[in-house]
Amino acid sequence: MATYPIHNRAWTRAEYDQLIARGSFRPGERLELLGGQLVVREPQGSRHAVAIELAHRALQRAFGPAWRVRVQLPIALEAESEPEPDLSVVAGDPRASSLSHPADPVLIVEVAETSLTFDREHKGRLFARAGIMDYWIVNLVDGELEVYRHPVAAPLAPFGWQYGQRHSLTASGIISALANPCAGISVADLML
């Protein structure tokens, strides 16, 4: 018996936004566009939700009012990706995003428990390809902050990119975002 490969149709951000505008998805349906694929976002447990709140508070304190710390809001990355990371930091007034989602976050943070491998491998490589210089994972499984920096081409990796630097910090560590190196953030403030 012959077998045939399955081909998925890749979606663009423009097509995805048209589907949203037409009301093609159920209210509250948790989807994001990643590398042309519509991906169902996992439900959040209470630990995940609390970690988002803690990280939001810590980032807002570190970056101050000139920056927007966005919680689970879309980012316009490339023509085929519109992820909704747990947190992203962008400059400017919210009104600047009234016609299109921000495309230039200086930091993306994912909180990971059940999604740890996906956030490391799939999203991390997608963010590297998009040129996100600073990507953090609040790793609830191991109780550490994973810091990914400096995207590099990696032809054999998914999306053809990966991060050139990876550091793990425990709760006793201090981290500064590349976009705001003078403001140290206690890793403990990001963790449960």
Classify residue 17: in a domain, yes or no: no
13 domain-assigned: no
Total domains present in the chain: 1
- pLDDT at residue 100 in the model: 84
Residue 30 lies in a domain: no
The answer, yes or no, to whether residue 3 has pLDDT greater than 80, is no
Question: Sorting pLDDT into bands at 50, 70 and 90, what band is 140?
Answer: very high
Which two structure tokens, joined as six digits, stand for 132? 């996100």
As a whole number, mean pLDDT of residues 66-70 equals 95
Indicate the pTM of the whole model. 0.91
Check pLDDT > 70 for residue 1. Answer: no
What pLDDT digit, counting tens, does each position of 40-67 carry? 887 788 999 999 999 999 999 999 999 9
Region 76-99 average pLDDT: 90
Per-residue pLDDT for 83 more than 70?
yes
d(CA 34, CA 126): 8
CATH number of 60's domain: 3.90.1570.10
Give the pLDDT mean for 22-44.
86
The rounded mean pLDDT for the chain is 92
Residues above pLDDT 90, as percent of the chain: 67
Range of the domain at 59: 45-190
The percent of residues in the chain predicted with pLDDT above 70, rounded, is 99
Q: What is the DSSP string of 8-77?
A: PPPPPHHHHHHHHHTT-S-TT--EEEETTEEEEPPPPPHHHHHHHHHHHHHHHHHH-TTEEEEES----B
Whether residue 185 is contained in a domain is answered as yes
